[in-house]
Amino acid sequence: MLKLDFVTRSAKILSAFIGDEIPQEILEERVRAAFAFPAPVANVESDVGCLELFPRAQRWHLKISAVALWHKC
């Protein structure tokens, strides 16, 4: 299963919990849409990486703040 791409592997794992409720093709489309954002990995050492989430978190905070201010006006 580790040789599968991220979307296919994630959809297979989810289908174990979802069963036949959502067809595999649709599930893969939804997984692809849900994870359609960059996930930069910084090398800490030659064989160790770290997922950098903080740049996205900062932008997310600004977006939420803007939406909150817009709703107040």
**Tens digits of per-residue pLDDT, 4-14?**
888 899 999 99
Answer yes or no: is pLDDT of 16 > 80: yes
Task: Read off the CATH number of the domain in which 48 is found.
Answer: 3.90.1380
Q: Would 1 be classed as within a structural domain?
A: no
Lowest mean pLDDT among 19-23, 32-36, 46-50, 51-55: 51-55
Question: In total, how many domains does the chain have?
Answer: 1
User: For 60-66, which contacts have Cβ atoms below 8 Å and span 24 or more sequence positions?
Assistant: none
- At residue 67, the pLDDT reads 63
What sign for the dihedral angle of Cα 52, 56, 62, 65?
Answer: negative
CA pair distance 49, 45, nearest whole angstrom: 7
Measure the CA–CA gap between 53 and 41, rounded to whole angstroms.
9
Give the pTM. 0.52
**Residue 56 has what pLDDT?**
57
State the residue range of the domain holding 10. 6-72
